[in-house]
Amino acid sequence: MQKLDQLIDARLELGLTQEQLAIKAGLSRAMLSNIERGYTLPSLRVAHRIALVLNYSIEYLFFNKNAHKMNVKTKQKPA
Q: pLDDT by residue for the chain (79 residues), tens digit each?
A: 567 899 999 999 999 999 999 999 999 999 999 999 999 989 999 999 999 999 999 988 988 766 555 555 555 555 4
Q: What angle do CA 1, 68, 16 make, to 5 degrees?
A: 65
Residue 65, pLDDT score: 61
Residues 69, 60 contacting (CB under 8 angstroms): yes
Three-state SS for 57? coil
Specify the pLDDT at position 79.
47
pLDDT value of residue 62: 85
pLDDT at 3: 79
Distance CA 79, CA 64 (A): 20
Please report which helix (H) or strand (E) contains residue 46, including its range: helix 44-54
User: What pLDDT, on a 0 to 100 scale, did the predictor assign at position 37?
Assistant: 93
CA–CA gap between residue 4 and residue 2 (Å, rounded): 6
